[in-house]
Amino acid sequence: MNPKTILVLGSTGKTGRRVAQRLAALDLPVRHGSRSGSPPFHWDAPETWAPAPRGVGAAYVSYFPDLAAAGATDAIQSFTDLAVKSGVRRLVLLSGRSEIEAEQCEEIVRQSGVEWTLVRASWFAQNFSETHFLEPILAGELALPVADIGEPFVDVDDIADVAVAALTEEGHVGRLYELTGPRLLTFAEAVAEIARASGRPIRFARVPMEDYVAALDAAGLPPDMIDLIRYLFTEVLDGRNACVTDGVSRALGRPARDFGEYARKTAATGVWDAAR
């Protein structure tokens, strides 16, 4: 495929930023779908949506905060309709594992009438180094309401590589790629790997959901965000996703990156240094 401008929604986020960087490195025209983009785009402001897909050949669709959030299905339906009407010929949707709402959004894209690829990802390894868990990691303890459930943390760089291939190459249309890392780790095991890689004493602690929710409320998180976090920790991390898949190798012809590799490379950047 030799698309016109490629739209990257969430181009300042974990996956979107990497997708946009890779497309630019291929000398492909990229439109950044973000508040700072030109034109600006934000999921909470539907009035900003219409200009984004104009003149676009393909689009990477990453919804914030998550496809499991309230209103996500309606938003994906409305944006998909708008994109198709605007002439977009290919959609690549970032989705999540075992989320009913995410699967509903996947079906919307399947039924859009244009070429599509679904990228269904497990929990991001980069959550430990970008945003969510970075501050407690720096403080020396990550406390979460999750049991000893194995999770195949996926490297966001793998997600970006798959998304770019789906946006720019043939052979990925009509495919669902479920992306995971190559092995299961509990959150405690993942934190232990980060501690070894960074050379710092970092521990994991399991806390009751009620205490975690109370802490989020005290920190001023909106109720809908707290509900989303509760859902992710109680439903998605109940063991149903404790398995690895071959999505990365099917899409790219190479193995998925291991969490240990992620931890070593990230530690080398200094992002986990206690001095921060």
CA distance 267 to 22: 23
pLDDT(3) > 60: no
pLDDT(155) > 90: yes
Number of domains in the chain: 1
Contacts of 215 (CB under 8 A, 6+ apart): none
Question: Taking residues 108-113, what's their average pLDDT?
Answer: 98
Percent of the chain with pLDDT over 70: 98
What's the CATH code of the domain at 31? 3.40.50.720
Phi, psi of 50 (to 5 degrees): -55, -45
The partner residues of 120 in beta bridges, in order of sequence, read 95, 178
Render pLDDT for 46-69 as a digit per residue (tens, 0 to 9).
999 999 999 999 999 999 999 999
Render pLDDT for 220-239 as a digit per residue (tens, 0 to 9).
999 999 999 999 898 888 89
Which pLDDT band holds residue 1 (cuts at 50, 70, 90)? very low
Q: Does residue 37 form part of some domain?
A: yes
Task: Give the domain extent around 30.
Answer: 5-122+155-179+242-257
3-state secondary structure of 249: helix
Q: Does residue 222 form part of some domain?
A: no
Which pLDDT band holds residue 118 (cuts at 50, 70, 90)? very high
Render pLDDT for 164-197 as a digit per residue (tens, 0 to 9).
999 999 999 999 999 999 999 999 999 999 999 9
3-state secondary structure of 15: helix
Half-sphere CA count of 208, side-chain side, radius 13 A: 3
Residue among 133, 194, 160, 151 at smallest CA distance from 17 = 160
Question: Taking residues 255-266, what's their average pLDDT?
Answer: 98
Residue 19 pLDDT: 98
* Pairing, β 56-61 against β 30-33: unpaired
CA 124 to chain centre: 6
CA end-to-end span of the chain: 44
3-state secondary structure of 154: strand
3-state secondary structure of 31: strand
The partner residues of 90 in beta bridges, in order of sequence, read 58, 115
CA distance 175 to 96: 15
Q: Does residue 137 form part of some domain?
A: no
Q: Does residue 133 form part of some domain?
A: no
Mean pLDDT of the residues in the chain: 95
Question: Taking residues 19-36, what's their average pLDDT?
Answer: 97
Q: Does residue 24 form part of some domain?
A: yes
Q: Does residue 84 form part of some domain?
A: yes
CA 127 to chain centre: 9
Q: Does residue 63 form part of some domain?
A: yes
Render pLDDT for 126-153 as a digit per residue (tens, 0 to 9).
999 998 899 999 999 999 999 899 999 9
CA distance 130 to 174: 31
Q: How many residues comprise the chain?
A: 276
Residue 98 pLDDT: 86
Q: Does residue 216 form part of some domain?
A: no
pLDDT(2) > 60: no
H or E element at residue 119: strand 115-121
